[in-house]
Amino acid sequence: MRSWTPRAARGASLAVLLLLLAALPGVELVRLSPIPGPASVNAAAHEYGDEPPGLVAEHAIEGSQPAPSAGPRLLIIGELVPSKAEIPSGPTTYVPIILYHYIRINPNPRDREGFSLSTPPAMFAAQMQYLADHGFHVLPLHQAVVAIKNHTPLPARPVALTFDDGYADFFTQAVPILARYGFTATNFVITGRMGLPGFMTPSQVVAADAMGFDIGAHTVDHVMLAATSTTRATWEMRQSKLALEELLGHPVLDFAYPYGSFNLYDMAEARTLGFETAVSTLYGVVHYAGQLFDLSRVRIGGGLPLTDFAREVGGPLPTVAELRA
């Protein structure tokens, strides 16, 4: 018993440390080994990252598609420390691509995960006011991608805004604030959840698109692509793209990996399906042409102070008046 107890204590301490690290904003998990079964992967995703995966696709592809390819797939879902995208020695383009989830006051103070994903509307308004006051150019994601691909100049202080999941508060809270400043953004919509409580309805998605906001695909069920079969991963990406294109009446060119989970197959498939780019949850503000299908972003949420927001977008310190507001 004496030889077992220290090892058990060390194991328990490590488990607690990992859970604490995983609860930090911007912290994800990385697994570069054969993936566990779907149940354990999905449970980990819910604990550490975002909304749990849905089940829209389960019966749609069951029995009607070829069996998934044999052999394990590598799973990439961040790291236990903030994971940064690699920077090559070749030409690079500086542009922070900001990642938001909810624009709301977190309804449950004890929900640390919900807190880390939530930016209160007043705080979001202050962040947009800061961008406007300090001469930032809020670009469409497409303009940033073209500049990254061709290494062409961008306006001074460029920034692109993205929102994941298609929450209803994007339309009710973020859109009026963005419109006030003439800013644009891209929202990555989970097509299987449109119209569900807390998510935008199809008519709101269409209205946001008509107002000039870009709509990107975020799968049908918000599954961890690298943790599922290649058949399912392809179906999730293709069907979300087709559903949005049918709804909006024009091509959908942008994709976001749910939970930041992707591998080389998913990157290649996104390109094959006709997406122009795919964004990850890797951290970084400097991009290169070979990174168009794993673009890094800067995640905002959890009551980030305005001084920290200014640092993330590469701007000057906020004024006293801005901090008071």
Q: Three-state DSSP class for 205? A: helix
Structure confidence at residue 89 (pLDDT): 63
* String of DSSP letters for 28-43: ---B-S----HHHHHH
User: What is the band of 9 on the pLDDT scale with cuts at 50, 70, 90?
Assistant: very low
User: What is the band of 24 on the pLDDT scale with cuts at 50, 70, 90?
Assistant: very low
> Is-contact 323 306, C-beta < 8 A?
yes
Residue 259 to residue 311: CA distance in whole angstroms? 25
pLDDT digits (tens, 9 = 90+) for 289-323: 999 999 999 999 888 999 999 999 999 999 998 99
Q: Which of 163, 170, 165 is nearest to 52 (CA)?
A: 165
Structure confidence at residue 82 (pLDDT): 45
Looking at the predicted structure, is the pLDDT value of residue 49 above 90? no
Residue 263 to residue 170: CA distance in whole angstroms? 29
Claim: this prediction has a pTM higher than 0.85:
no
Phi, psi of 229 (to 5 degrees): -70, 160
pLDDT digits (tens, 9 = 90+) for 137-193: 999 999 999 999 999 999 999 999 999 999 999 999 999 999 999 999 999 999 999
First and final CA of the chain: distance in angstroms?
Answer: 60
Looking at the predicted structure, is the pLDDT value of residue 12 above 60? no
What's the mean per-residue pLDDT of the chain?
82
Structure confidence at residue 50 (pLDDT): 52
Q: Which helix (H) or strand (E) holds 164?
A: strand 158-165
Interval 27-31 mean pLDDT: 37
> Is-contact 97 142, C-beta < 8 A?
no
Structure confidence at residue 68 (pLDDT): 38
* Structure-token pair, residue 27: 């912290």
Structure confidence at residue 255 (pLDDT): 98
- pLDDT greater at residue 205 or residue 2: 205
> Is-contact 239 217, C-beta < 8 A?
no
> In terms of C-beta density within 10 A (0-12 exposed, 13-18 middle, 19 or more buried), how is residue 201 classed?
middle
Q: Which of 80, 74, 17, 91 is nearest to 49 (CA)?
A: 80
Q: Where are the domains of the chain?
A: 93-324
Residue 157 to residue 310: CA distance in whole angstroms? 11
Looking at the predicted structure, is the pLDDT value of residue 39 above 50? no
User: What is the band of 126 on the pLDDT scale with cuts at 50, 70, 90?
Assistant: very high
Residue 302 to residue 324: CA distance in whole angstroms? 19
- pLDDT greater at residue 324 or residue 12: 324
DSSP symbol at 51: S
Structure confidence at residue 151 (pLDDT): 94
Q: Class assignment of domain 93-324?
A: alpha beta
User: What is the band of 47 on the pLDDT scale with cuts at 50, 70, 90?
Assistant: very low
- pLDDT greater at residue 76 or residue 52: 52
Instruction: Calculate the alpha carbon distances from 297 to 35, 96, 113 in Å.
Output: 25, 7, 19
Question: Is the Cα dihedral 267, 185, 122, 297 positive or negative?
Answer: positive
* Structure-token pair, residue 142: 């497409």
Residues 6 or more apart in contact with residue 207 via CB below 8 angstroms = 171
